[in-house]
């Protein structure tokens, strides 16, 4: 999954809950298809309209492009243990 994200650079990714964190870590918004998450329902015409609205919001919101994960901005912290007698 990570290789596909790096290669194709999608605007949105639709998958299940297992892929959620890997996809979002790559800076791509994810739409869960296995559950309604915080939205829905998607049945019938009204459901299709609901689904379109959510996809439109995700694709046109570029918040993922403006933020960086903390591990991308600062170097890894290194520490040592010192014991004075």
Q: Please, what are the averages of pLDDT over each run of 10 residues along the chain (85 residues)? A: 85 84 84 73 87 86 71 72 79
Is residue 32 within 8 A of residue 16, CB to CB? The reply is yes
State the maximum Cα–Cα separation within the chain, in Å, rounded to a whole number: 75
Domain definitions of the chain by residue range: 2-73
Q: What are phi and psi of 22, to 5 degrees?
A: -65, -45
Concatenate the DSSP letters of all residues of 18-46 into one string: GGHHHHHHTT--EEESSS-TTS---SHHH
Q: Domain 2-73 carries which CATH code? A: 3.40.50.1980
- Give CA angle at 3 (53, 70), nearest 5°: 75
């Amino acid at each position: 999954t990570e290789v596909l994200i790096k290669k194709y650079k999608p605007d949105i990714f639709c998958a299940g809950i297992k892929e959620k964190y890997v996809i979002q870590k790559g800076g791509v918004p994810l739409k869960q298809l296995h559950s309604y998450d915080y939205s829905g329902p998607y049945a019938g015409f009204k459901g299709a309209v609901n689904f379109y609205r959510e996809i439109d919001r995700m694709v046109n919101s570029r918040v993922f492009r403006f933020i960086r994960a903390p591990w991308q901005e600062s170097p890894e912290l290194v520490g040592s243990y010192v014991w004075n007698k």
